[in-house]
Amino acid sequence: MSRRIMPFLLAVAMLATGFAALVQRPAAGTPKRTVDYVVIAGVAGLRWDDVDPVATPTLWQMAERGSIGSLSVRSAQQPTCPMDGWLTLGAGNYAAWNGLPVTGQCPPLDVAVERPDRIGAYLHDQRAAVRHNQEKLRWGAVPGALAESVRCTVAVGPGAAIAAARPFGRVDRYQPSLPRDPTDLLASCVLSIVDLGTVAGDDPAARAAAARRADAALARVLAARPDRSLVMVAGVSDTDQASRLHVAVADGPGWDRGWVTSASTGRAGYLQLVDLAPTALAALGRPTPERLFIGKAATMADGRPHDLAAAIARPADADQEARAQRRVAMWFFALLAGVQLLLSVAVVPLLRRARRYAKPGDPAPAPRWLLSAVEVLLVAAALAIPAALVADAVPWWRTAHAGLVFGAVTVLVLALATVAVRFARHYRTTLGPMGLVAGLAAIIVGADVLTGARLQLNGVAGYSALEGGRYAGIGTVGLGVIVAGTLLAAGCLAQRIRRSWRPAVIVAVGGSGVIVVGSPYLGADPVGAIALTAGVSVAAAISTGGWLTFARFAWATIAGLAVTAGFAVLDLQRPAAERGSLGRFLTAVGDGTGGLTVHRSGASNMAALGGSTLSLLAIIAAVLVWFALLRPWGGLKRLFGIYPAIRAGMAGVAVASLIGGVLGGSALNVAGAAAALAVPMATLASLRVLDHATDRTHPPLVPPEIPWPPRDDAVAGPVAGSADGGRGAPVATSADASAGPAEDLPRTRPAAERPMAERGVGASDTTAAEGDPPPAVPAAPAGAGGSIARQPGSADVAAPSP
């Protein structure tokens, strides 16, 4: 009994130890009060390519002495128009002014601001905006939450009035335009919000003129700023359907020559619009409203170049890459889905003809060159996403024809990777391509994560900062690739060793993947780590063959729950502002607001299910597996029977990708990325297993001088005394789940017509390679006639007629 449970105890120990060592990231602590006043100056549409020392000298000098970064203006509406951006700023959460679609340019900033007295103002539409966000949107935003968190707020301009209005519409102090000397106005309240105008359009001259006007107004704000004040300049919104990254500058005590960042982005130089409200309250030493703000307080990160021009070039380049990424990623994944669909259709007749028959009238096998070509195409299809990830190391987005350059670089990388796999030492074995491709894909994604996930940020095979979902760590596509690569590579490796140690191998390889995915220093995806843990547990439980019994399921569940509990405990120990998604969800469940989180996840899943090409990839893969590979002629069942560790790895991939997608709010996207790697490799392995299968047809009659059945002292192998050296009479054998494919049986056909296994392909898929002793070869019973000799778990082998 102890021998059986030891692998699962090893699973719990290894994974729990790894998480205890890596998950507890040092807490940064709650930001302390640093200033007495905060001024937020917003310019709708302002980008870093609008900033230069000539057109915007004030902003240039402010950026020189302060901290800068790229601002993602995600709101509850896409694109984020000026009214949505200002409302999101005041809510500290993803908000939208109304649900009207945007066609072309954003509507003008037209809001009715009443002034019942000469001090404050009133917005009649504020109550309707609050109801719209509370009843129709999934984020639970409360417009005016920022103003409700301080005693007094100043607003200058209509956009600032939207951000500074309290939920019932009242603005404490309001001026429609910036006074010539705003010193007294800015000192009248601890929080001031100023609308500096809008920079819109594609005309460089018009944009430069608008930027100069905003810069002149900013100069008056800086000249009148109170002592011990923090001034933040933000490009609060887009101005048309093209989403962009915008300007973020912070100038004040503690913001000297650095990058702005926050816990919501986890990457230096990136900030979200929803982070501005908690940043203002943290700087003032005010508590943030519980469960209302989704953003995190911004902080300063070191590492900014001393030269401001070089520093500004980075966010400007990131904006250019993110803009190009959106267009290129759309056609890349559409093309990948089309290629996978064509391969799925083309491989079905090859699967039906892959098994060798000798009966007259049976379909002839496909030409060897055709099978070899299809195998190469399957390898290339599986490596397409890793190749696209590597292609982002080349700055293709800076060229005039970004899409063509990216395609050329991706094809070149894909060709080199495919050639490397094709001419690798183990390619000719049955599981060789699967192990090579899976290992290569997992190494590529893992190496990128270990080096800061620079290829995934704004990459075609990564995630976009414009979407506002992730800025650091591993993304949805990367998670699917590393799940499939890790578990398939673990299954191929485990298949080559003794049965009793296969669970330990899968846990060791899969556990390393869990650490890479879940560590906040690396992948920073606790939900993905939990999903991969579930997949590793299932794979380890069934890697030795047989069914998923209750005992195996129990130990797999214990391992998965142990890791999940470890993640939860360590995350809950962190400050509330720095907790991950798991910690925030458990906190919400504890205070009775977990339903909102579940609603957000469900809405996100529905949006991802209908608007992603990766969902189509997952559906194509499911159709191919169910209607082809799992058919009696499909070969996948035979592959699973011969190689139980591969069956375990494939089951783990399915479990992990589905759990990771649903819990992460991406529906089938993780499964689609995993299927793009796993299904082509399963198809290739099925083709080879069918090609190695023993014929079901009856062999030629045994010459009369050769006794049949053989004597009790007969041994397996060529029949002594036969005229052809024993090639005319095959011997019944057994090919159980641990004995490898029946590919070394004697054949009667010419060499040119023999399966690949007889000509050297798959020669290493033997019992010795798997680490299991060969079973005894039973003699055919007397009077067997023309029946099929069978043994439980064995391949069908024809016994000759008398």
Question: Average pLDDT of each block of 10 consecutive residues along the chain (802 residues)?
Answer: 52 51 46 84 95 94 95 91 95 90 85 88 92 87 93 95 94 93 94 95 92 95 94 95 93 93 92 95 88 89 92 93 91 93 92 69 77 94 96 94 94 96 93 95 95 93 87 92 96 92 89 87 86 89 79 70 69 62 60 53 60 85 90 89 93 91 84 94 93 53 45 39 37 36 37 40 37 41 36 35 32
Q: Are 525 and 473 in contact (CB under 8 A)?
A: yes
Tokens in use for 531? 């999903």
Query: In the block, which residue shows the tokens 């939450």?
Result: 145
C-alpha–C-alpha distance, residues 756 and 767, integer Å: 18
Q: Are 259 and 301 in contact (CB under 8 A)?
A: yes
Tokens in use for 276? 């501005």
3-class SS at 44?
Answer: strand
C-alpha–C-alpha distance, residues 73 and 79, integer Å: 9
3-class SS at 194?
Answer: strand
Give residue 71's identity as a one-letter amino acid code: L
Q: Are 225 and 30 in contact (CB under 8 A)?
A: no
Give residue 240's identity as a one-letter amino acid code: D
Residues with Cβ < 8 Å from 655, sequence gap 6 or more? 531, 534, 535, 538
C-alpha–C-alpha distance, residues 192 and 180, integer Å: 16
pLDDT given for residue 604 in this prediction: 61
Helix, strand, coil shares of the chain, percent, nearest 5, are 50, 10, 40
CA distances from 290 to 142, 164, 297, 699 (A): 12, 19, 14, 78
Query: In the block, which residue shows the tokens 């579940």?
Result: 598
Candidates 239, 275, 294; CA nearest to 79 is: 239
For residue 286, count other CB atoms closer than 10 A to its CB.
Answer: 17
For residue 504, count other CB atoms closer than 10 A to its CB.
Answer: 19
C-alpha–C-alpha distance, residues 653 and 486, integer Å: 9
C-alpha–C-alpha distance, residues 213 and 510, integer Å: 57
∠ at Cα 101 (99, 106), nearest 5°?
105
The count of C-alpha atoms lying within 13 angstroms of the C-alpha of 659, restricted to the half-sphere facing its C-beta, is: 20
Q: Are 797 and 733 in contact (CB under 8 A)?
A: yes
For residue 22, count other CB atoms closer than 10 A to its CB.
Answer: 17
**Number of residues that this document lists for the chain:** 802
Tokens in use for 292? 């209302």
Q: Are 82 and 109 in contact (CB under 8 A)?
A: yes
C-alpha–C-alpha distance, residues 549 and 546, integer Å: 8
Rg (CA), the chain: 32
Residues with Cβ < 8 Å from 233, sequence gap 6 or more? 41, 42, 43, 46, 59, 62, 196, 218, 247, 248, 249, 251
Tokens in use for 335? 């093309």
C-alpha–C-alpha distance, residues 208 and 204, integer Å: 6
DSSP code string of 362-386: SPPPPPHHHHHHHHHHHHHHHTHHH
User: Sheet containing 121-123: which strands, arranged edge to edge?
Assistant: 113-114, 121-123, 170-171
Residues with Cβ < 8 Å from 281, sequence gap 6 or more? 146, 149, 150, 287, 288, 297
3-class SS at 248?
Answer: strand
CA distances from 212 to 53, 215, 319 (A): 11, 5, 21
CA distances from 47 to 235, 473, 713, 754 (A): 7, 25, 87, 67
Residues with Cβ < 8 Å from 262, sequence gap 6 or more? 271, 272, 275, 279, 295, 296, 297, 298, 299
pLDDT given for residue 736 in this prediction: 36
C-alpha–C-alpha distance, residues 277 and 286, integer Å: 11
3-class SS at 231?
Answer: strand
For residue 782, count other CB atoms closer than 10 A to its CB.
Answer: 9
Tokens in use for 16? 């729990």
pLDDT given for residue 138 in this prediction: 79
For residue 30, count other CB atoms closer than 10 A to its CB.
Answer: 14
Query: Across 638-693, where does the E strand assignment appear?
Result: none
C-alpha–C-alpha distance, residues 343 and 347, integer Å: 6
Which helix (H) or strand (E) segment holds residue 72: the answer is strand 67-72
pLDDT given for residue 421 in this prediction: 96
Give residue 578's identity as a one-letter amino acid code: E
C-alpha–C-alpha distance, residues 657 and 38, integer Å: 45
pLDDT given for residue 524 in this prediction: 85
Backbone torsions φ then ψ of 40, nearest 5 degrees: -110, 115
752 DSSP 8-state letter: G
Candidates 281, 219, 227; CA nearest to 253 is: 227
Question: Hey, which residues does 198 pair with through a beta bridge?
Answer: 44
Residues with Cβ < 8 Å from 276, sequence gap 6 or more? 40, 89, 92, 232, 234, 295, 298
pLDDT given for residue 197 in this prediction: 93
User: How does 78-107 read in b/e, with b if 16+ C-beta sit within 10 Å?
Assistant: bbbbbbbbbbbbbbbbbbbbbeeebeeebe
